[in-house]
Structure 1
Amino acid sequence: MSNLGFSSLLLLMITLFSFGGAALVSRNSEEAYVTLLYGDEFLLGVRVLGKSIRDTGSTKDMVALVSDGVSNYAKKLLQADGWIVNTISLLENPNQVRPKRFWGVYTKLKIFNMTNYKKVVYLVADTIVVKSIEDLFKCRKFCANLKHSERLNSGVMVVEPSAELFNDMMTKVTTLHSYTGGDQGFLNSYYSDFANAHLFEPDASPDDLKSRPVPQMERLSTLYNADVGLYMLANKWMVDEEELRVIHYTLGPLKPWDWWTSWLVKPVDVWQDVRIKLEETLPGTGGGKNPNDKLLVISLFLLPVLFLVFCYYRSFLQTRSLFDHIRHLYYMLRSGGVSYSSVTSSNISSNPQFPNLAYSKVPIFLGAMSVVVCFTAAMVSLVLSLAIVPRQLMPWTGFLLVYEWTFTIFFLLVGSYLHVVHRWGKLVANQSVSLSQHPESIQYDSGKGTYIARHTELTILVIFEWQCYS
């Protein structure tokens, strides 16, 4: 009897252990939220999406289908956030004419083959859930949002997985036309009559649903796929903002995780509010931070400051010694004022050694060239700063770093230009004084009636100084 009791207890423990271990890698519910991740660039988007789903109170599975391009660290982080991570192979895009970024988008069709779930709600990584969307699981067969009057958008979809349906799609991927060159165009061709589908009614009673034939597809309202691009056109939502369920950040170069987007697109504030609430499931990941960026951000902040201090210190020592500066400051404070000395223009003009040569030697194009150099330096500084600063920082951090680096690079470029102009001006001035003091250096050619100055020597000196500075 005791042996039977021990065997039963052992069997129970094995069963519980097996169930607990499987819960980390297999499904816990018959319905799930699904997203796709092709690389680490969209990792933060998936993390925020998962947080927004959990904030609505949902306990359904969250499944991330990841390709080989996703790092092991990203997979580990998603699992720590509560995602079930399934590694999948990419489906080849059969379209020869397509954007490069669409090379693996046909992989999205694999959600139609997730037969271990009765129903899945697919959400692309650049969406965020702002209100519970559990009612989407009432949608039957296939549901999506209609965009641009007659085209469905594949960013939010409800799917009843079926191996038969998936296999039928696979037989038609090479024959059905895709107007986008990607999965969305294919789905529009596959569900060619989608524009005529009835609107999904989540509040319909069970009796009403039973009295109607089961539809093959249904249209989701804008509330379930609110397009930020359309918001930007009207500068407002075309539906009641309080009723929004899902916001879709469709603007290509303005993804919500890029720090500059928060300054340009108002609805990104909603995304950032969820981001800062991300828990530190792995060390250094709280608030959506990347632990690898921490040292880089500190370095980017300190380098310009140290460089400017070094430049000022170098300039400080070149003018006088440190002791001279201290002594000058002491006498200035002791005397209670600052003495100034000036040189009037009349003294210069009255000197026969400077017959307005300073004015005659200034090139007429110097002003226009300086304006062009300044504008070019400003543009180059901004572009280089945007390239240096990581994209997925917090908005204020990114803004301050770009401002700091833009100023530093602009200071370097314009300072270099002014230094070259200064050197060139000194050479021209010295040469002019030399010519005025030694008139025999100017030769008169009676045959041609022209004066030949020593421009060749001056040019050589300028080139030499330029090379020394460079």
Structure 2
Amino acid sequence: RIYSGNVHREAYATILHSAHVYVCGAIAAAQSIRMSGSTRDLVILVDETISEYHRSGLEAAGWKIRTIQRIRNPKAEKDAYNEWNYSKFRLWQLTDYDKIIFIDADLLILRNIDFLFGMPEISATGNNGTLFNSGVMVIEPSNCTFQILMDHINEIESYNGGDQGYLNEIFTWWHRIPKHINFLKHFWVGDEEEIKQKKTQLFGAEPPILYVLHYLGIKPWLCFQDYDCNWNVDIFQEFASDVAHERWWKVHDAMPEQLHQFCLLQSKQKAQLEWDRREAEKANYTDGHWRIKTQDKRLKKCIDNLCSWKSMLKHWGETNWTDDGFFTPTPPTITMASLSGL
């Protein structure tokens, strides 16, 4: 298909399946796209597990919702994190668009990236010399390509067990774009202090130097606002950055106030955060973030049927915030009309 350059046939897209915990991230991502000055369509693919309540928030944030049937990864274990991540292949069925910039729901657009619509499929940043990262990528919807993706799911082995490894096997001719267009919030073990400082400066630069900041580890909206909770978990400290954390929360605070309800914390997550803080205190982590007493107003706001998160700590087991248990949100479903006066 010849690239038409028709802005009405170009869109940003993301996908949510099997978990509502990324709804807040998708809302913030939409906010960041609009703050960058882009007016392209925003399309989000969701499956039946995403409730009407959460869909209302996504729509109010500007996402056009497309309901999909999930695609199971046949090589994944039942209930594993990667069981349904082949659902991303549905992006190629968005044939009412010529070009899609796919973005993961856990990133922020800091500078306008509309110029990527002029790039061919697949354009993405490199994970290393030969493989691309599928967190930001330019695709060209095509039912033919979708069928190719589906035809080989039983035979192709993904190097990481997920869609990224699979897509790298299919799109071996990908086009490399600069890493600033999908910059990972991550410090390598062994990074020299000078490198850490340079990365931190990039995370907080004003005006922004990075185009996209991709939040790895525990997501900002699942931490308290006061600091990056990755500090309190040993295996996640490589993802910890208070500067990047603060940057995400600035975008959150710029969202219409009625959208903030979609970033409230479940009681289980509050308990998880306190558990991690206590473990960090026991280990006496030298960064000292465990000493900070949270001032986050979400601590005292309850959105589930069981509000006593402190009592959960007495019987803390294997269950944590990743479970997709149903809960009853207390705020009312909102509509675009309710935001018209903001």
TM-score, scaled relative to structure 1: 0.50
Give, in whole Å, the separation in 2 of the partners of 1:42 and 1:147: 23
- Distance of 1:231 and 1:133 partners within structure 2: 26
**Is 1:185 aligned to 2:165, yes or no?**
yes
Residue of structure 2 equivalent to 1:228: 185
Instruction: Compare the two structures and name the one with the higher helix fraction.
Output: 1
Match of 1:112 in 2: 92
Q: Which residue of the partner structure matches residue 250 of structure 2?
A: 273
Show the counterpart of 2:74. Answer: 94
Distance 1:30 1:381 in 2: 47
Shift of 1:148: 3.3
How much does 1:103 deviate? 1.0
Q: Tell me, in whole angstroms, the C-alpha distance in 2 between the residues paired with 1:78 and 1:129.
A: 17
Matches for 1:412-427 after TM superposition, within 5 Å: none
Tell me which residue corresponds to 1:418: none
Q: Render the CA deviation track for 1:10-56: whole Å, top value 9, x for unaligned.
A: xxxxxxxxxxxxxxxxx992100001112221110000000000001
SS in 2 for 1:32: strand
What is the CA distance between 1:227 and its match in structure 2? 0.6
Distance 1:175 1:269, change over 3 A: same
Is the 2:221–2:263 Cα contact (8 Å) retained in structure 1? no
1:35 counterpart SS class:
strand
**Percent same amino acid among aligned pairs?**
27
Of residues 160, 166, 176, the one that matches 2:140 is 160
Query: Counterparts of 2:33 and 2:100 in 1: how far apart (Å)?
Result: 14
Q: Which TM-score applies when normalising by structure 2?
A: 0.67
- In structure 2, give the amino acid aligned to 1:114: L
Query: Which stretches of structure 1, 4 residues or more, deviate above 6 A after TM superposition?
Result: 291-294, 378-381, 398-401
Q: Is the 8 A contact 1:98 1:181 kept in 2?
A: no
C-alpha spacing 1:74/1:238, structure 2 compared with 1 (3 Å): same
1:367-397: CA deviations, max 9, x gaps?
xxxxxxxxxxx979947xxxxxxxxxxx632
Q: 2:102 is aligned with what amino acid?
A: Y
Alignment match, 1:76: 56
Whole-Å separation in 1 of the counterparts to 2:264 and 2:250: 22
Structure 1 258/108 Cα, relative in aligned 2: closer, same or farther at 3 Å? same
Distance 1:236 1:173, change over 3 A: farther
Please say if 1:262 is aligned against 2:228: yes
In 1, the alpha carbon distance for the partners of 2:149 and 2:276 equals: 49
Letter in 2 for 1:163: N
Deviations 1:431-451 (A, max 9, x none): xxxxxxxxxxxxxxxxxxxxx
Using the alignment, how far apart are the partners of 1:218 and 1:97 within structure 2?
Answer: 32
Residue 139 of structure 2 is aligned to residue 169 of structure 1 = no
Instruction: Provide the rounded CA distance (Å) in 2 between the counterparts of 1:255 and 1:78.
Output: 18
Equivalent residue pairs, number: 259
Q: State how far apart, in whole Å, the 2-side matches of 1:236 and 1:89 are.
A: 44
In the TM superposition, what is the alpha-carbon distance from 1:231 to its structure 2 partner?
6.9
2:47 pairs with 1:67: yes
Counterpart contact for 1:97–1:181, Cα < 8 Å: no
- Alpha-carbon shift at residue 57 of structure 1 (Å): 1.1
Q: Which residue of 2 aligns with 1:29?
A: 8
Q: How far apart are 1:149 and its partner, in Å? A: 3.4
The aligned counterpart of 1:344 is none
Distance 1:150 1:41, change over 3 A: same
Give, in angstroms, the shift of residue 121 of structure 1: 0.2
Rounded to whole Å, the distance in 2 between the matches of 1:379 and 1:79 is: 34
Which structure's CA Rg is the greater one?
1
- In the TM superposition, residue 97 of structure 1 has moved relative to its aligned partner by 5.5
1:352-431 correspondence runs (5 A): 382=278, 396-397=295-296
Alpha-carbon spacing, 1:293–1:269, altered in 2? closer, same or farther (3 Å): closer
* Counterpart for residue 250 of structure 1: 216
Unmatched segments (≥5 aa) in structure 1: 1-26, 195-216, 301-377, 384-394, 413-470
> Taking CA–CA contacts closer than 8 Å with sequence separation of 6 or more, which of the two structures ends up with the larger relative contact order?
2
The residue type equivalent to 2:47 in the other structure is S
What SS does the aligned partner of 2:50 have? coil
SS in 2 for 1:167: helix
Tell whether the 8 Å contact from 1:113 to 1:161 is kept in structure 2 after alignment. yes
- Whole-Å Cα distance in 1 between the matches of residues 99 and 187 of structure 2? 29
Contact kept? 1:143, 1:158, Cα under 8 Å: yes
CA RMSD of aligned residues (A): 3.4
Does the alignment pair 1:289 with 2:261? Answer: yes
**Corresponding residue for 2:23?**
43
Question: How far off is 1:98 after superposition?
Answer: 8.7
C-alpha contact 1:98 1:182 (8 A) present in aligned 2: no
Which amino acid in 1 is paired with 2:261?
K
* CA contact 2:122–2:171 (8 Å) conserved in 1: no
Equivalents in 2 of 1:76, 1:133: separation in Å? 27
What SS is found at the alignment partner of 1:116? coil
Q: Deviation digits for residues 250-279 of structure 1, max 9, x if unmatched?
A: 22xx11212246254221111111001110
